Structure 1
Amino acid sequence: MSRAQGPISGEKGAVRRIRLAFGVAMLGAVGFAVTYSLGGNTQLLGISLGIAFAGLAYGLAAWGRRLLPTGGYVEEMPELSAPPRRRDLLAEAMNGPESPLGRRGLMGMLMLGVGSIGVALLFPLRSLLSFRKPDPVTILRHTAWEPGVRLVTPEGTPVRLTDVGPETIQIVVPEGHTRDGDAPAFLVRLDPERLRRQPAAGRAGDVVAYSLLCTHAGCPVALYEQTTARMLCPCHQSAFDLNRDAAPIAGPAARALPGLPIEVDADGFLRARGDFTSPPGAGFWSYP
């Protein structure tokens, strides 16, 4: 009796392990989809996808090793046309309850595992679709500066017109977007009589605002030469003449620093009147 039950018991155990492996594959696929939906941590995405494929691979390998016929066989060349009785027996063997393809619902579990992985892999397609959000080019062309947005320091302190000193610059960012990499700007006081070109973005009294990002490679142009009213980029030595509307006068930069239109509100705080006059940062893509 034990000899007869041994293979059957082993087969049942193999079926349970295979079903468990396909279940693990489904859980890994669900984990991948959930992780992507919550923000897409790359480590968790890789782990969950690895678990899904590992479960699927183990299940298929165990299925082929433990449930399908194995070993070497020698068979005479079959007849060109099998007898009807033989065809019926073959169809019954392949479609019956003990078929290696449909045994104990394994085919259904396999399809669920493969299908769940396929559905999970569709989730990243969301990154390629806008879903009513601006397309990437539109996002690059515009920043968080909008009419009425208050100018604040990187620490979040609102800036008044009187806070801008005569010999240095004041770095500012849009309120509520202090960490946006494309939004930093600087304020500086210029002598209106020395201006050779009026700022395209206008000015608030003798204070003007420009993007802090160099138009060559996007480095901060935080070196101000007050005597010549020039901004210098320490990365590749580009120089911009603020008296000529921040036009490039040296170095590899070929485009002027974008201006930021500003105004003073009723409480004396500086606010933006709109976005930069042109996209900020490196000029490696087309501009309108």
Structure 2
Amino acid sequence: MSEKSRFEYVREGAKTRDGVDIVYYEPNLPPGSKAERRMVRLVAFMLLLSGLAALIFVAAYIWWPFTDFPATDGWEYKPGNSFMKGYTPILGLSLGLALFLIGFAVLIWGKKLMPHEIALQDRHDGGSDPEERKLTGNTLAFIGEEFGLGRRPLLKVALLAPAAGLGAAALAVPVGMLIKDPHNPDELFRTGWSPEANGGKMVRMMREDMTPIRPEDVSIGGQITAFPMTADGLGATNKYADSPVLLIRLRPKDAEFLRSQLHHHPVNVGGMYGDLVAYSKICTHAGCPASLYEQQTNLLLCPCHQSQFKITENARPVFGPASRRLPMLPIELDGEGYLVARNDFNGVPVGPAFWEKPAA
């Protein structure tokens, strides 16, 4: 009488100890056959290509624009430049190809390399005892060894390629920003209100139509969305999408109360001009425009997820998912009577996309 195979022992143990009856079990391809080895090579090849495509995405995202233009041009698209015209398609094609190939490889793996199996198990109340759990673990290890990765070391190695490539792609945005301009560590803190965006001079506040703003333009209890009047004239465009602020004229008593609260958030001390205060319009939860101002309660509402900020308490979040204050822009008057930003947001990051958020 011939000795039982390992699989027969596993099937018998599963039935007698776990109540699992494997009624049908058949490999798609004969183990060790040429067809199986050919399919393993195909899956490994697609996984390796997926990793390569992901690395092409990373290289293009970080180095392509930087090698053609100085850092001052950043990532800006140049319509007349043939070298830059392929930048966006390369990003889309490389990342799309990486995801497609890894998905297709997993599909073939499941359809061709995993066996057909039908197993039945009676339901029972409560959890399994420790011995049954151990047996189940050994059974799964056997299946993995016989029909998964244990017998196919090439797939183990090939899986590292898409894992490394797609992992690098996920880090391309923050890492690329730092590599693009390594001599400016404050890149993550700088907006269009920085004097660097205006030739070293303080930046005026302007409306969307590029007209500068005077204090008398804002009525008591009123508010205006203000943009930086940068030297390149792009202060109200996507280039400075992190820069819009809400300029509010508080009622005299409310303004006085806010001034008494500034010491609780020292970075805001001296940031007001008279009864005027300017806060970033970018919600610190998900980056939506927080612009619904209710003057009776001095609450600023973000319409996306209902976060509310108390304007007279340094824009402290009082409701909703936002957990950080809105940064205050320090403002004053220039020699011609126009409102200007004295400097940027005093080193406080704008919006939600930041991994080292200061305490609220």
Normalising by the smaller structure, the TM-score range is 0.5 to 0.7
State the partner residue of 2:113: none
Uncovered stretches (5+) of structure 1, i.e. residues with no partner: 1-31, 48-124
CA contact (8 A) 1:200 1:259 kept: no
- Following superposition, the deviation at residue 208 of structure 1 comes to 0.8
State the partner residue of 1:150: 204
Q: 2:271 aligns with which of 180, 202, 209?
A: 202
- Following superposition, the deviation at residue 157 of structure 1 comes to 1.1
Residues 132, 216 of structure 1: alpha-carbon distance in 2 compared, 3 angstrom cutoff: closer
CA contact (8 A) 2:309 2:316 kept: yes
Residues 134, 160 of structure 1: alpha-carbon distance in 2 compared, 3 angstrom cutoff: farther
Q: Equivalents in 1 of 2:303, 2:177: separation in Å?
A: 38
Q: Equivalents in 2 of 1:230, 1:45: separation in Å?
A: 42
- Following superposition, the deviation at residue 252 of structure 1 comes to 0.8
Q: Answer yes or no: is 1:285 the counterpart of 2:326.
A: no
Once the two structures are superposed, residues 96-130 of structure 1 have per-residue CA deviations (whole angstroms, 9 ceiling, x without a partner) of xxxxxxxxxxxxxxxxxxxxxxxxxxxxx9x9586
Superposition CA RMSD, Å: 3.1
The structure with the larger Rg is 1
- Following superposition, the deviation at residue 262 of structure 1 comes to 0.8
Q: Answer yes or no: is 1:178 the counterpart of 2:247.
A: no
State the partner residue of 1:193: 256
Residues 129, 156 of structure 1: alpha-carbon distance in 2 compared, 3 angstrom cutoff: closer
Q: Answer yes or no: is 1:242 the counterpart of 2:308.
A: no
Once the two structures are superposed, residues 129-182 of structure 1 have per-residue CA deviations (whole angstroms, 9 ceiling, x without a partner) of 867735797422211212411111122111111111212211011113221110
State the partner residue of 2:133: none
State the partner residue of 2:299: 230
Which runs of structure 2 are paired with 1:30-69 in the superposition (5 Å)? 37-38=83-84, 40-43=86-89
Once the two structures are superposed, residues 227-252 of structure 1 have per-residue CA deviations (whole angstroms, 9 ceiling, x without a partner) of 11110111111111111111111111
Q: Which amino acid aligns with 2:194?
A: E
SS of match in other structure, 1:187:
strand
Which runs of structure 2 are paired with 1:209-228 in the superposition (5 Å)? 209-228=278-297
CA contact (8 A) 2:178 2:185 kept: no
Residues 129, 197 of structure 1: alpha-carbon distance in 2 compared, 3 angstrom cutoff: closer
Residues 219, 129 of structure 1: alpha-carbon distance in 2 compared, 3 angstrom cutoff: closer
Residues 39, 287 of structure 1: alpha-carbon distance in 2 compared, 3 angstrom cutoff: farther
TM-score w.r.t. structure 2 length?
Answer: 0.44
SS of match in other structure, 2:271:
coil
Q: Equivalents in 2 of 1:129, 1:169: separation in Å?
A: 34
Question: 37-46 or 202-211, which moves further after superposition?
Answer: 37-46
Q: Equivalents in 2 of 1:130, 1:248: separation in Å?
A: 30
TM-score w.r.t. structure 1 length?
Answer: 0.55
Q: Answer yes or no: is 1:266 the counterpart of 2:320.
A: no
CA contact (8 A) 2:287 2:352 kept: yes
CA contact (8 A) 1:200 1:245 kept: no
Uncovered stretches (5+) of structure 2, i.e. residues with no partner: 1-59, 69-80, 94-171, 196-201, 263-267
CA contact (8 A) 1:187 1:207 kept: yes
Q: Which amino acid aligns with 1:185?
A: V
Which runs of structure 2 are paired with 1:101-120 in the superposition (5 Å)? none
> How many residue pairs get matched?
179
Residues 155, 254 of structure 1: alpha-carbon distance in 2 compared, 3 angstrom cutoff: same
